[in-house]
Structure 1
Amino acid sequence: MVAAFLGLRLYSVLGRRAEHEEEPVPQRFESDDKPAIRPAAVPAPVVSPRAAELEGVMPAVERALREIASADSKFNLAQFLEGARGAYRMILEAYWKGDRETLRELCDDDVYAGFVSAIEARDAAGETLANSLIRIEETRIHSAVLDGKTARIALLFVADIAAVTRDKDGTVIAGSLDDAIESRDVWTFSRNIAARDPNWLLDETDEG
């Protein structure tokens, strides 16, 4: 991504950042029948991926998604995509604010450690971020695999972000809230389909 997003040191640690869509705010990212957040009282029916959701997906990826849907009764692709968009926004905003608790809930150990390291470096420099996710322009399935009991789905997020970095005195040292910059991120979410916990976790980030 680039030096313009000075405050987002995640590039070297985790990949890129992005997002801010005007839609309901999820509380948790789950594979259950609510599109991301707390387990619903009534589980959603098992639904195989539909043609509209698989548009442009490579045959191997489509097969993997169908394998995941077959092996995991809680998996619903449409709800997964909606939940992933919400998780993308929540994770970015948590990083920008230094909200370790939210990051801990939504990321695996390695990704969480990378975010925390970047937050600590930012704090040590006395810098703060005033970033805003303007919109998510696109969410596209990038890859998918079922490896034993572990399902992993990577999504490409294309989003517009306005970013500002301030120093310890509050002076803007990078960015502008008046100009949004396009961000392209590939984030991979994973879940042990044999586990009782229905939540998917972010386990890898990269540039799109």
Structure 2
Amino acid sequence: MVAAFLGLRLYSVLGRRAEQEEEPAVQRFDSDEKPAIRPAAVPAPVAPPRPAELDGVMPAVERALREIAAADPKFNLAQFLDGAKGAYRMILEAFWRGDRETLRELCDDDVYAGFIAAIDAREAAGETMDNTLIRIEEVRLHSALLDGRMARIALLFVADIAAVTRDKDGNVIAGSLDDAIESRDVWTFSRNVSARDPNWLLDETDEG
């Protein structure tokens, strides 16, 4: 009887333990609740690279240039600088030759009037200018402004120029073709950003 009693007790204990061991364990992934779906991380916006043309430019000038670009989506600083260099050469050479037509196309009324007055005085004296633009050493942003819809950008041009003035007989009365001089000019170009015409006009000249 004692043996039977012990066997019954062992069965009741071991049997329950075995039944418990046979029950499948509840897995952490068997939950009825679906795991929360986290939104994919949105990459931080990458700022566009800063144009090399803005190196060394004052913050106020840079802000004005960005305002001009915002008002005129077609504005491109690098293209503007290349165009300004070409205009600098064309305007100087037109003035030296007395080419009024080219000056009319590239200058506003006030600057054009100033060039024409100088050409008229030179021709009245029988003088001619035999100048040569040797090279443009540097073009630097000087100032910029967006006034309403009118954009104005001033550039400092540093150039080497061989300047010679001749009298009516062709004699050199000033300058020398052998010695180029450094010229420093601040030219301001303007354009209405709402205009269809993409060309900028020279509207002010000054010494740098």
How far apart are the structure 1 equivalents of 2:50 and 2:178? 39
How far apart are the structure 2 equivalents of 1:123 and 1:70? 45
Unaligned runs of 5+ in 1: 1-47
How far apart are the structure 2 equivalents of 1:90 and 1:49? 32
Superposed, 1:184-199 pairs within 5 Å as: 184-199=184-199
Query: Which digits, 9 at most, give the CA deviation of each residue in 1:63-91, with x for residues without a partner?
Result: 00001011102210000000000000000
1:144 aligns with 144
Unaligned runs of 5+ in 2: 1-47
Report which of the two has the higher share of helix. Answer: 2
Bigger relative contact order, structure 1 or 2, given CA contacts below 8 A and separation 6+? Answer: 1
2:100 aligns with 100
Query: Which digits, 9 at most, give the CA deviation of each residue in 1:148-180, with x for residues without a partner?
Result: 000000000000000110000111101111100
Deviation, structure 1 residue 143: 0.1
Give the number of the structure whose alpha-carbon radius of gyration is greater: 2
Superposed, 1:64-75 pairs within 5 Å as: 64-75=64-75
Contact 1:53 1:77 in 2 (8 A): yes
Contact 1:49 1:78 in 2 (8 A): no
Identity of aligned residues (%): 85
Deviation, structure 1 residue 49: 8.7
Three-state SS of the structure 1 residue aligned to 2:62 is helix
The number of equivalent residue pairs is 161
Contact 1:161 1:183 in 2 (8 A): yes
Distance 1:49 1:197, change over 3 A: farther
2:153 aligns with 153
* Runs of 4+ deviating beyond 2 Å: 48-51
TM-score, L = length of structure 1: 0.76
